[in-house]
Amino acid sequence: MAQRSITADLLEALEPWLDAQMAKWLAQPEATRSPTLPVTVENKVNVREITKALGLAQSKEQHFFKKSELRSAINAAAERQGLLSIGSRVQMEAAEQAVVDRMDRIQRGAADLSRQLAEREALIERQRAEITALKEQLRLRSETGMTLRISPLSGVNEDDS
């Protein structure tokens, strides 16, 4: 005789229990409803407590995560009661990693922008020094009528202007 699958056995125990929990939930006044399924502090459905409520060994807990039939039955009730579903941590971790990656990209971009800004500020300072020197030369020329030949300012690159 073929051995019955664990999924069928667990569904047989789970479905009536879920129906009873949903009936309790629906019996509550809509304005003050609170979940009747076991909940973690993170507002997720608590699979360990479900296995205890069903009188199952803790080793059976894994099936609620691995078997889609079991997981989807619990998740449907959990979502109806406003709880996070089984496996929501994986989804949340992926979203959190995406945020961390984006922040890293932004920080690298900010570092590049900071370096470029420092380079531009140094260029502006060199240009200001050159402008000051040229203004002084123009002042001397207008006062004396003579053009002075001077060497370029130290640190001023003529290609930058």
For 118, counting Cβ atoms within 10 Å of its Cβ (0-12 exposed, 13-18 middle, 19+ buried), the class is exposed
Q: What is the CA radius of gyration of the chain?
A: 36
The pLDDT of residue 53: 92
Per-residue confidence in pLDDT tens, the chain, 161 aa? 567 788 888 888 899 999 999 999 999 998 888 989 989 888 888 899 999 999 988 888 888 888 888 888 899 899 898 888 887 765 666 667 777 778 888 888 888 888 899 999 999 999 999 999 999 888 888 888 777 666 665 555 555 54
Query: What are the sequence ranges of the domains in the chain?
Result: 6-86, 90-148
* Residue 158 CA, distance from chain mean position: 48
Distance CA 89, CA 87 (A): 5
Distance CA 65, CA 48 (A): 11
